[in-house]
């Protein structure tokens, strides 16, 4: 079975951008591939954070992923820092990666601007750690949102460089695109993200979600209720496409174009269909919060399996790079 690897940062709330761009797709892949999913806590350390909150956030990220349908009986879920080989492989990859490649990364440039006073070496090196995550398990496919495609391309480049310089041991992994690879925020302009505060959290109470939807930007050219709108210009319609059945989408398209359906009524329909999907997820999360035993056990099992794979691959890596194995000395 081909292997899939992906990661998510424990940066607080998981929003519907993460869900539609990544997690929902990850769930769909479980039966087809050997799937390994990782809570990437070392990546989250590249921007300022509160140490006292981190371990809770890591557990919570695992909990939300499981509540969203990542069944740990059918895939592997683990925490990056539980497998030290991720950072070890990063070092080796650092030595085959030109700095210029890292300085060109869009996410680095954006985050460096956002955190002007905290541009640490880890932020620049972030994509190398990501390449190590993926290649440590020799994964073939990486399901991510569009914002991560550049990092997967760099991963392929790093695999090629290592393979050429040392030994051909790594596959060149490919991106698997989610059906909804980019979800805009409630402003209808920027990518939905935690840091821009333009998001809908997966576990937010329904009344909070409705309030956010009610005030979200729609087709900006539809100014008055009587103006006809254009669904393809409207971010609410994009979200509808992810949650609502096709009959409803048809109804909205014609209603919007003829001005028969107003934006608030359209949002009510979205809210209704969105809640059909989010209600059971919120209930599962609440039940896991009451007893997080299954989450903890999943992470322990995940770390055990990943450590075994990582140990073997690192032996191969060190040997290809010409390092001296301890057991060869005696």
Active site amino acids: 111, 191, 194
Task: Report d(CA 195, CA 183) in Å as an integer.
Answer: 15
235 is a contact residue toward ligand AMP (CB under 6 A):
no
* Partner whose footprint covers residue 209, from ligand TRP, ligand AMP, none (CB < 5 to 8 Å by kind): none
**What does each C-alpha distance from 217 to 190, 198, 221, 272 come to in angstroms?**
12, 11, 11, 18
Closer CB to ligand TRP, 5 or 199, in the complex:
5
- Rounded to 10 deg, the angle between the 149-165 and 106-114 helix axes is 120
Instruction: Tell me how far, at minimum, the Cβ of 141 lies from ligand TRP, in Å.
Output: 10
Kindly tell me which of 134 and 183 has the beta carbon lying closer to ligand TRP: 134
Secondary structure in 3-state letters for the chain: CCEEEEEECCCCCCEHHHHHHHHHHHHHHCCCCEEEEEECHHHHCCCCCCHHHHHHHHHHHHHHHHHCCCCCCCCEEEEHHHCCHHHHHHHHHHCCCCHHHHHCCHHHHHHHHHCHHHCCHHHHHHHHHHHHHHHHCCCCEEEECHHHHHHHHHHHHHHHHHHHHCCCCCCCCEEEECCCCCCECCCCCCECCCCCCCCCECCCCHHHHHHHHHCCCCCCCCCCCCCCCCHHHCHHHHHHHHHCCHHHHHHHHHHHHCCCCCHHHHHHHHHHHHHHHHHHHHHHHHHHHHCCHHHHHHHHHHHHHHHHHHHHHHHHHHHHCCCCCHHHHC
**Closer residue to ligand AMP in complex, CB, 8/29:** 8
**Least distance to ligand TRP from the beta carbon of 183, Å?**
13
Selected binder of ligand TRP within 14, 66, 142, 239 (CB under 6 A): 142
User: Strand order in 34-39's β-sheet?
Assistant: 76-79, 34-39, 3-8, 141-144, 174-177
* Binding region for ligand AMP (CB under 6 A) out of 95-103, 144-152, 223-231, 254-262: 144-152
User: If binding is defined by CB under 6 A, does position 235 make contact with ligand TRP?
Assistant: no
Residue 13 beta carbon to ligand TRP: minimum distance, rounded to whole angstroms? 14
Q: Does 8 interact with ligand AMP (rule: CB under 6 A)?
A: yes
Q: Residues 154-193 vs ligand AMP: string with x where CB under 6 A?
A: ---------------------------xxx-------xxx
> For ligand AMP, which residue of 145, 201, 229, 231 counts as binding (CB under 6 A)?
145
Tell whether residue 133 is a contact of ligand TRP (CB under 6 A): yes
Identified binder of ligand TRP from the candidate list 3, 4, 9, 78, rule CB under 6 A: 9
Position with the least CB separation from ligand TRP: 7
Q: Does 10 bind ligand AMP (CB under 6 A)?
A: no
* Residues 16-35, mask of contacts with ligand AMP (x by CB under 6 A): -xx--xx-------------
Count of residues that bind ligand TRP according to CB under 6 A: 13
Nearest residue (CB) to ligand AMP, 8 versus 132: 8
Site string for ligand TRP, 27-46 (x = CB under 6 A): -------------x--x---
Q: Which two tokens stand for residue 201?
A: 């959290």
When binding is defined by CB under 6 A, the residue of 46, 65, 148, 198 that contacts ligand TRP is 148
**191 contact choice in ligand AMP, ligand TRP, none (CB below 5 to 8 Å, kind-dependent):** ligand AMP
Q: Is 5 in the site for ligand TRP (CB under 6 A)?
A: yes
């Amino acid at each position: 079975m081909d292997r899939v690897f992906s990661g998510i940062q424990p940066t607080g709330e998981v929003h519907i951008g993460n869900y539609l761009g990544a997690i929902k797709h990850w769930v769909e892949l479980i039966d087809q591939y050997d799937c390994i999913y990782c809570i990437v806590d070392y990546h989250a350390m590249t921007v300022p954070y509160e140490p006292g909150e981190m371990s809770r956030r890591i557990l919570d990220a695992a909990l939300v992923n499981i509540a969203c349908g990542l069944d740990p009986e059918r895939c592997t879920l683990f925490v990056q820092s539980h497998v030290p080989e991720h950072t070890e492989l990063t070092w080796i990859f650092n030595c085959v990666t030109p700095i210029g490649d890292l300085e060109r990364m869009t996410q680095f440039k954006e985050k460096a601007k956002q955190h002007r006073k905290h541009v640490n070496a880890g932020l620049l090196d972030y994509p190398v750690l990501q390449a190590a995550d993926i290649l440590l398990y020799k994964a073939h496919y990486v399901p991510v949102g569009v914002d991560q495609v550049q990092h997967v391309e760099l991963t392929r480049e790093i695999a090629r460089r290592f393979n050429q310089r040392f030994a051909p041991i790594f596959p060149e992994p490919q991106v698997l695109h989610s059906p909804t690879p980019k979800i805009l925020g409630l402003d209808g302009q920027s990518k939905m993200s935690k840091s821009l505060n333009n998001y809908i959290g997966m576990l937010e109470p329904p009344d909070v979600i409705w309030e956010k939807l009610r005030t979200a930007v729609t087709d900006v050219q539809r100014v008055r209720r009587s103006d006809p709108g254009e669904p393809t210009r409207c971010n609410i319609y994009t979200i509808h496409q992810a949650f609502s059945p096709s009959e409803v989408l048809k109804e909205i398209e014609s209603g919007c174009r003829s001005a028969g359906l107003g934006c608030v009524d359209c949002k009510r329909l979205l809210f209704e269909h969105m809640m059909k999907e989010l209600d059971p997820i919120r209930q599962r999360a609440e039940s896991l919060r009451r007893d997080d035993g299954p989450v903890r056990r999943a992470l322990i099992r995940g770390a055990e399996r990943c450590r075994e794979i990582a140990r073997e691959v690192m032996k191969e890596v060190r040997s290809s790079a010409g390092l001296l194995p301890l057991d060869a000395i005696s």
